[in-house]
A and B are shown apart, each in its own frame.
Chain A
């Protein structure tokens, strides 16, 4: 559960007073809290841990890490096998 997965911010919105975003993790899209990265915007890449964006990273970094995680099967472990990811889907 300590894995932090890179994803791309697709949209930014407000929910219950918190800054949120739709973030795509190699195709799996989830709602992610963006409150800890006030500067992040649509198109940016970030690493996400238990639904929270923690650090902005560059695109090359993000894509390469995602590919590695996918190769190792870690994305399925984290989100469940698509198209029915574990946990609440947005």
Chain B
């Protein structure tokens, strides 16, 4: 999609949907990797515009959702430590750990603050030299450049009271893990546009070729998503498996080189546990030795915490795309956005919250998703 003026253009949306409908001859499962895309798909009713053969599987691309409970518990322990100012993005405050969330830590006197940018946390550290300021550095490749720069800046400023609890996760290894799993049923991917904005998409051709899957770099607007789905369907029907860029106004093949340079300076690859999925090899970043002084896990003794996942929560299956949110017995009953059991209900980008907020109910007759509310299609 080149011109944004066409974004909310109902005529164009209808054309894209018509093209998808006329191309489809059999069933296909397409995964949108990014939680922001899941949110937009459900919010705009895109899944309901598609022919029944095209199923969208929601991927694990919500950093709040995939942060393992052990790390949430570590965050809570650090936030409760005396003298600490604990900073995080707003979503993280409500994610339940083994015993409560960050709001409860705050209620018991912990100094927990929401920041808009990691640089705000660096500023807090500079302004509060007698306090330990810890930033919860979660996120995919989109957020990592900000966290990397915060560390670089803290070092430049010579701050000794700033550290980051690092939990960065990477998209390509997750795609690889999903495709490599024997239970996999995903046949094409919509790659996350803003991750590719930073990293480019040079990592994807090898994956597309090895697993014979089309990968389409896709944006977040309704027409972006329809165009991404259309391209994926056309490739699936034609039996091709290449990488396409359907978000060229933001994404280039190389990505943002200055950001990649700082990322490579600050971080190195590491195995990382994903909530509900388990450890995926080389799927995360940790601070390089030169920056280890800013590693909150090294600064605070948070080993030996025993973490327990709520037994009723099936977010692991939701994150792997094997269970739709409304198929969880707790969905909308014990578990709602106001009282979430799992992170996929907490984060506005989580699949459970998206389904709940936009009134998606299961249609037991067909297994298709229905809607209790009005469908906000882009037309």
Contacts and interface: CB of A to CB of B under 8 A. Distances in A.
A54 B7 contact: no
A52 B5 CA distance: 25
A49 B258 contact: no
B116 A54 contact: no
Given A2-B62, A4-B197, A50-B89, A57 B249 contact: yes
B111 interface: no
A82 interface: no
Contacts of B156: 16-17
B342 interface: no
B116 A2 contact: no
A54 B197 contact: yes
B117 to A, nearest CB: 3
A60 B349 contact: no
Interface in B143-160: 143, 145-146, 149, 153, 156-157
B139 interface: yes
Contacts of B118: 50-51
B120 interface: yes
A68 B123 CA distance: 32
Interface in B112-149: 114-120, 122-123, 126, 139-140, 142-143, 145-146, 149
B348 interface: yes
Interface centre among A16, A30, A37, A77 (most CB of B within 10 A): A16
Nearest to B195: A2
Contacts of B50: none
A89 to B, nearest CB: 9
Which of B63, B64, B91, B119 neighbours the largest number of chain A CB atoms within 10 Å of its CB? Answer: B119
Interface string B29-41: 0000011100000
Interface string B194-213: 10011000000000000000
Contacts of A1: 63-64, 89-91, 139, 143, 347, 349
Contacts of B120: 51, 87-88
A88 B115 CA distance: 7
A61 interface: yes
Contacts, number: 126
B349 A68 contact: no
B174 to A, nearest CB: 14
Interface string A73-85: 0000101000001
Given A1-B91, A18-B153, A55 B35 contact: no
B5 A64 contact: yes
A24 B156 CA distance: 28
A63 B258 CA distance: 26
Contacts of B347: 1
Contacts of A64: 4-5, 7
Given A47-B197, A68-B8, A35 B149 contact: yes
A33 interface: yes
A50 B90 CA distance: 12
Given A49-B146, A55-B250, A68 B258 contact: no
Select the residue from A31, A50, A64, A65 with max chain B CB neighbours within 10 A: A50
Nearest 10 pairs of A and B residues by beta carbon: A51-B117, A87-B116, A64-B4, A2-B36, A36-B259, A61-B4, A52-B146, A50-B146, A36-B258, A4-B194
Interface of A: 1-4, 16-18, 30-31, 33, 35-38, 47, 49-52, 54-55, 57-58, 60-61, 63-65, 68, 72, 77, 79, 85-88
26 contacts: A1-B64, A1-B143, A2-B140, A16-B126, A16-B156, A16-B157, A17-B153, A35-B149, A35-B262, A36-B256, A36-B258, A36-B259, A37-B256, A38-B258, A51-B117, A51-B120, A52-B145, A52-B149, A54-B194, A54-B198, A57-B249, A61-B3, A64-B4, A86-B114, A87-B115, A88-B116
Interface of B: 3-5, 7-8, 34-36, 43, 61-64, 89-91, 114-120, 122-123, 126, 139-140, 142-143, 145-146, 149, 153, 156-157, 192, 194, 197-198, 220-221, 249-251, 256, 258-259, 262, 347-349
